[in-house]
A and B are shown apart, each in its own frame.
Chain A
Amino acid sequence: MNAVLQVNGLTKSYGSVVANDGVDLVVNRGEVVGLLGHNGAGKTTLVLQVIGLLMPDAGTIHVDAVDAVADPAAARRRVALMAQAQTPIDGLTPRTAVALAARLRGLDKRRARHEAERIAAELAIEPWLDRRAGPEGTGLSGGVRRLTGFAMATVAPTPLVILDEPTNDVDPARRRRLWELVRRVADRGAGVLLVTHNVSEAERAVDRLVIMDEGRVVAAGTPQQLRGTEDHLRLELIVEPEGDPSRIVPPFACLRDVVVGRRRLLTFPAAEAERAIQWAAASRSRGAFESFALTPTSLEELYLELTESKSQASGPEEVATRG
């Protein structure tokens, strides 16, 4: 069996709120699967059921062929989690913390020390390797704590690795190193479930994506499949700070049309490119918007369109779909 995580028809409610509604999900060996969704989409509820902290109302979860609902302890021995909250390492140095995590995952003392140093070098956190994490976030920065938590989850071989927002607080250079390591974890045969709401990072790092909204899976596939194989382009229009991008009326039919704050994202067939550029240039010179950019399509428009209802309630970054 190739799947290290197989979730079928998973349903979980909190009172009248359905947090997971018949979720299907597969993570195969050697694969990085991105689980994408806004806050409250049901991602964390799903993860908590996989690691045996929540009991599903219905559905099945198999981790490395073990029934995680019937035998959560056996499933937990096959999963390493990097939670969204900071990993509790107060009083420990990153060296000790990573070695401890490695020992708890079955590496012997010498190997654990060796692996802790190796992964610290790969994440470029050696200068902090022997600095103690103090209480209330003192001693180590949030980024180093986050990277230490990542190292603790990936230091020892585990069939399934779950990473929840691993790059929060991490600087761009180390983010790149972290993504390389995620790839390597999958290459050595583990399945990686990457939970995030960062679309652009997920798009580059994953083999497959599962997009959740309001407890349901609303799209799944490779980034290429989700973007669409057809020849589409994206026109991004940015209005003045006080402007309203929804008032712009494009002269061509759009496949997707999303408003995000000051931005209007229009997806259309590449055949319309010439017309679109002429219209955009003319409109900008009339002052209809501040600037525009024509780019290949990305997952962002699809994601925003699929998760529209949630985003509208999410504050200043107002998202609305038109067309």
Chain B
Amino acid sequence: MDDKRTPPAPALEEVRLPHLTAYRLLVKWQAAGMGAMLPLVMVVQAMLAVGLIVGFGFLIPGIDRETATFLSTGAPTTLLVIIGLVMVPQAVATARNNGSWNYLRSLPVPRPLLLLSDLTVWLAVALPGLVMALLTAWLRFDVPFSFNWPVLVGAAFLTVLMATSVGYAIAVSLPPLLAQLASQVLVFFVLLFSPLTFPAEQLPVWFQQVHSVLPIQRAGDALRAGLVADQYPFEPVGMAILGGWCLAGLAITLRALTRRR
């Protein structure tokens, strides 16, 4: 092959790249940045899965099969939500502090593509957590899964999208330091005060009402309906609320990406 026979350089004019090409290139760019962190993220996810399923199991003496199933099928949501609500704000806050947020926004690509490529990468980062949690649940409690694949895939996708877009929205709406702090608080809220690994009925009524409009319990219920379909029914309303939070997160993030202060 003759490497010297390269085509002539384009003239000095504006760049107009097909969106799909730009998207692929941005995914490659952002995945590389995440790549170095990926093994660490997977180790953390595995530890969290074990902690949630095995560790929380110790809190319940003589745990019965139904409770074990509830606990085990809530753990995957916890992992997915933590990636989006905790890791994403921290990553975006870092990017805003070190200048890469502004750099990426200066690239000659439509800014929604920046968000889309980043969401793609976070989806890829989050999904192994789902598998790990299910594997742990099966090994520890031999959970009787009965998959409803369309619901499972849809719920997992919407959960990651919701958590990531809301995480993004937090990161772009607050000053970086405050965003990092908020993400730390959210860890406790998701782990301890969200009815993912325990039934909502154990919460005070007013708190149940709060959770009925928040996306976390809705995500947990939707994912559970995909994992043990014969025991937990699928609720379209919950999915719609989850979708609404996705749209709100995406709208806030897109506005921040395109807004000129």
Contacts and interface: CB of A to CB of B under 8 A. Distances in A.
B36 A83 contact: no
Nearest to B38: A91
Contact of B15 (A52, A53, A77): A77
A22 B17 CA distance: 35
A175 B253 CA distance: 39
A54 B32 contact: no
Contacts of A105: 15, 108
Interface string B84-101: 000000000001001110
Interface in A70-87: 72-74, 76-79, 81, 83-87
A104 B109 contact: yes
A96 B109 contact: no
Nearest to B260: A55
Give the residue among A90, A111, A189 with the most B Cβ atoms within 10 A.
A90
Interface residues of A, number: 47
A83 B102 contact: yes
Q: What's the dominant secondary structure at chain A's contact region?
A: loop
B10 A107 contact: yes
Contact of B25 (A85, A90, A100): A100
A102 B104 CA distance: 14
A108 B7 CA distance: 9
Q: Chain B CB within 10 Å — which of A92, A104, A134 has the most?
A: A104
17 contacts: A51-B106, A53-B105, A53-B261, A64-B14, A77-B15, A90-B32, A90-B33, A96-B32, A104-B22, A105-B15, A105-B108, A106-B10, A107-B9, A114-B3, A156-B9, A159-B13, A188-B12
Q: What are the 8 closest A-B residue pairs judged by CB atoms, nearest first? A: A85-B99, A91-B32, A88-B100, A55-B260, A77-B14, A77-B108, A106-B15, A51-B106
Interface of B: 3, 6-7, 9-17, 21-22, 25-26, 28-29, 31-37, 95, 98-100, 102-111, 260-261
